[in-house]
Amino acid sequence: MLRDSPGRMMEEPKSEGELMNAEPVSVALHASDSITRAGVTVALRARPEIRLVEPETAEGCVALVVAERLDDNVLQLLRKLQCRPNPGIVLIAGDVADSELLDVVGSGVSAVLRRADATPDTLVRLIRAAHAGEGSLPADLLGRLLGRVSQLQRNVLRPNGLNLAGMSSRETEVLRMIADGLETKEIAEKLCYSQRTVKSILHDITNRFQLRNRAHAVAFALREGLI
């Protein structure tokens, strides 16, 4: 054990041997062509940290998608995988255009790597990171993604009174007042709305974000940093 501050202990980094002795991560491989599938399969089967499973029967496995380019079929596959109970999606692609970045992230991809940079070691590292709930993007892609998000905020969301969570300023104001303990009638009076309007706003929020009740809506807004 290491000590990183007074009274606080930190685990030592695991050695390569400890990582190899850890429980292997189950991976479902989705490749755009048979040659790619064969090559990646050979590389990963040689690694004791990885256990390859058939995509058709995979559940609770990391999804590894390998493609030269992000065509409609690949994007459709990513969206399909997002609906499955898997711990993460790793995408290996020839390149990702700026216009595709938001689609990729919105499809639940947690790690991206260019095919030119892919080695067995980097594949295993990204797969283990995705399994642990971590994300990974090349530095230039991360910078471009942040640029796209900024552009979206500036040109689309802000002019329409929305934020990145898709919630309007009046919706966040209502949730802020609920968090302060105000009742529907008090909120309506303060905002010069009818009680029916306040209830309608809350109904829209809970339906759109699949929240259970007011308390859940407030917790969601707090977690997202909206209030």
User: Is 37 found in the same domain as 82?
Assistant: yes
Q: Is the pLDDT of residue 59 over 50?
A: yes
Q: Is residue 15 part of a domain?
A: no
Residue 85 maps to which CATH number?
3.40.50.2300
Task: State residue 56's pLDDT score.
Answer: 76
Q: Which domain holds residue 207?
A: 159-223
- Please indicate, yes or no, if residue 2 is contained in any of the structural domains: no
Q: Which of 33, 25, 74 is nearest to 52 (CA)?
A: 25
Q: What confidence tier does 138 reach under pLDDT thresholds 50, 70, 90?
A: confident
Q: Are residues 107 and 37 both part of a single domain?
A: yes
Check residue 202 and give its pLDDT. Answer: 92
Could you read off the pLDDT of 25-38 as tens digits, one per residue? Answer: 999 999 989 999 99
Share of the chain above pLDDT 90, in %: 37
Would residue 151 count as lying in a domain? no
**Which tokens go with 112?**
């991206």
Q: Are residues 106 and 46 in the same domain?
A: yes
- pLDDT above 90: residue 6: no
Position 223 confidence tier, pLDDT thresholds 50, 70, 90 = confident
The pLDDT score that the predictor gives to residue 134 is 84
| pLDDT band, very low/low/confident/very high, at 17 (cuts 50, 70, 90) | low
Q: Is residue 175 part of a domain?
A: yes
Q: Please indicate whether residue 4 or residue 153 has the higher confidence score (pLDDT).
A: 153
Contact 92, 65 (CB under 8 A): yes
Here the CATH number for the domain that contains residue 184 is: 1.10.10.10
Q: What is the pLDDT of residue 2?
A: 43
> Does 215 lie in the same domain as 136?
no
36 and 123, same domain (yes or no): yes
Q: Confirm whether 60 is domain-assigned.
A: yes
Residues 124 and 79 occupy one common structural domain: yes
Q: Which amino acid is at 24?
A: P
Q: What's the total number of domains in the chain?
A: 2
55 in the same domain as 28: yes
Please give the average per-residue pLDDT across 41-54, as a whole number. 93
Q: How far is 89 from 15, CA to CA, in rounded Å? A: 25
What is the average pLDDT score of the chain? 83
Beta strands across the sheet bearing 25-31 = 50-53, 25-31, 62-67, 89-93, 109-114
Mark which of 106, 140, 174 sits at the end of a domain. 140
- pLDDT tens, residue by residue, 163-212: 666 788 889 899 989 988 888 999 999 999 999 999 999 999 998 888 88
Query: Are residues 176 and 204 located together in one domain of the fold?
Result: yes
Q: Say if residue 14's pLDDT is above 70.
A: no
Q: Would the pLDDT of 156 be above 50?
A: yes
Residue bearing the bigger pLDDT, 3 or 108: 108
Q: DSSP readout, the chain?
A: -EEEETTEEEPPPPPHHHHHHSPPEEEEEEESSHHHHHHHHHHHHT-TTEEEE-GGG--S-EEEEEESS--HHHHHHHHHHHTS--S-EEEEES---HHHHHHHHHTTEEEEEEGGG--HHHHHHHHHHHHTT--B--HHHHHHHHHHHHHHIIIIIGGGTB-TTS-BHHHHHHHHHHHTT--HHHHHHHHT--HHHHHHHHHHHHHHTT--SHHHHHHHHHHTT--
Q: Report if residue 154 sits inside a domain.
A: no
The answer on 93 and 190 residing in a single domain is: no
